[in-house]
Amino acid sequence: TQQPVSQMVNAGDDPSFTVLATGTGPLTYAWEKVVKPAPIPVGGNTNTLVFNDVSALEAGSYRVKVSNATGTVATSATVTLGVTSPPLIV
Transcribe 22-58 into DSSP letters: -SSSPPEEEEEE--SSS-EE-S-SSSEEE-SS--GGG
Q: What is the mean pLDDT of residues 1-19?
A: 96
Model-wide pTM > 0.95: no
Q: Distance between CA atoms of 52 and 14, rounded to whole angstroms? A: 5
Checking if the pLDDT of 44 tops 80, the result is no
Helices and strands (H, E) in the chain, number of each type: 0, 8
Measured from the Cβ of residue 31, the count of other Cβ atoms closer than 10 Å reads 24
